[in-house]
Amino acid sequence: MLLYNVTLIIEDAAAERWLQWMQEIHIPEVMATEMFVSSRLLKVVDSPNEGVTYCAQYVAESMENYLNYQDNFAPALQSDLNAQFENQFVAFRTLMEYVS
């Protein structure tokens, strides 16, 4: 099992609109790819950064599913994010493997 984590820092002025977009559009679209078995969205409460920091987490059953997502779905979904919130966020992505 793998955990794909997307940490995103969004400007305060766009945070509410981004959160609604994530919950109503983006996360359902990611899950509709069927490459992940679950998702969760978390808000970082002690972030030292300006803006609001969130982590969107997706669980993949295999590296094959994750790579399929990256090759066939991620570019379009990330493009949508950039179009909706251009110059209002920074994001970084991490892939982790469950140990125990």
pLDDT of 25: 96
pLDDT per residue as tens, the chain (100 positions): 999 999 999 999 999 999 999 999 999 999 999 999 999 999 999 878 889 999 999 999 999 999 999 999 999 999 999 999 999 999 999 999 999 8
CATH 3.30.70.100 holds for 2-97: yes
Domain boundaries, the chain: 2-97
∠ at Cα 96 (94, 98), nearest 5°?
A: 160
pTM, 2 dp:
0.93
Long-range contacts of 15-24 (CB under 8 A, 24+ apart): 15/51, 15/52, 18/84, 18/85, 18/88, 18/89, 19/54, 21/84, 21/85, 22/54, 22/56
